[in-house]
Structure 1
Amino acid sequence: MSQIFISYRRDDSAGHAGRLEEALERHFGTRNVFRDVDDLPPGQPFPAALQARLRGANLVLVLIGPRWLEAERDGVRRLSLPDDYVRMEVAHALGQGIPVVPVLLDDAAMPPANALPADLRPLVHRHAVRVSDAGWSDDVARLVGALQAELGPRRGHLVVRRVLLGALLAGGAALVAWWALTPQLPPFPAGRWQAEVRYDWGDTYQERFEFTRTGHTIIGSASFLGRARDIEAVRWADGLLSFETHSESVMGSEHRVSTHRYVIAPEGDALRVRYSTAGGFGAPPPMVFMATPLK
Structure 2
Amino acid sequence: MAMKSNKRFAKLRRYGIAIVAAIAGVGGVAGNLGSIVDLWDKVTGSSASVSGEALPSVDIGGTWQGEVTYDWGDKHTETFVFRLEDNEVIGTASFLQAKRGILDGKMSGDKLTFVTRTQERLGDEPWKEVEHRYRGTVSQDEIRFILQTVGGYSSHVPVEFVAKRVSK
Q: Taking structure 2 as the reference length, what is the TM-score of the superposition?
A: 0.62
Task: Say whether the 8 Å CA contact 2:120–2:152 is kept in structure 1.
Answer: yes
* Amino acid corresponding to residue 67 of structure 2 in structure 1: E
Indicate which of 193, 203, 211 corresponds to 2:74.
203
**RMSD across aligned positions (CA):** 2.1
Q: 2:163 — aligned with what?
A: 291
Amino-acid identity (%): 32
1:196 Cα deviation from its structure 2 partner = 0.7
* Structure 2, unpaired ranges of 5+: 5-54
Which runs of 4 or more aligned residues in structure 1 lie more than 6 Å from their structure 2 counterparts after TM superposition?
none
Q: For this pair of structures, how many residues does the alignment match? A: 114
Q: Which has the higher strand share?
A: 2
* Structure 1, unpaired ranges of 5+: 1-156, 159-183
Query: Structure 2 CA distance, aligned partners of 1:283 and 1:238?
Result: 31
Q: 5 Å matches for 1:23-102?
A: none
Q: 5 Å matches for 1:122-137?
A: none
**Which structure would you say has the larger RCO, counting Cα contacts within 8 Å and 6 or more residues apart?**
2
Indicate which of 130, 135, 139 corresponds to 1:267.
139
Task: Say whether the 8 Å CA contact 1:188–1:239 is kept in structure 2.
Answer: no
Task: Give CA-to-partner distance per residue, 1:119-175, whole Å, 9 cap, x none.
Answer: xxxxxxxxxxxxxxxxxxxxxxxxxxxxxxxxxxxxxx98xxxxxxxxxxxxxxxxx
Q: Which has the higher helix share?
A: 1
Helix, strand or coil: the match of 1:251? coil
Helix, strand or coil: the match of 2:132? strand
Q: 2:116 — aligned with what?
A: 245
1:238 Cα deviation from its structure 2 partner = 3.0
Task: Give CA-to-partner distance per residue, 1:201-225, whole Å, 9 cap, x none.
Answer: 1111110001002345431010000
Q: Taking structure 1 as the reference length, what is the TM-score of the superposition?
A: 0.36
Closer/same/farther in 2, CA of residues 278 and 245 from structure 1, 3 Å limit: same
Query: Structure 1 CA distance, aligned partners of 2:68 and 2:141?
Result: 18
Closer/same/farther in 2, CA of residues 266 and 217 from structure 1, 3 Å limit: closer
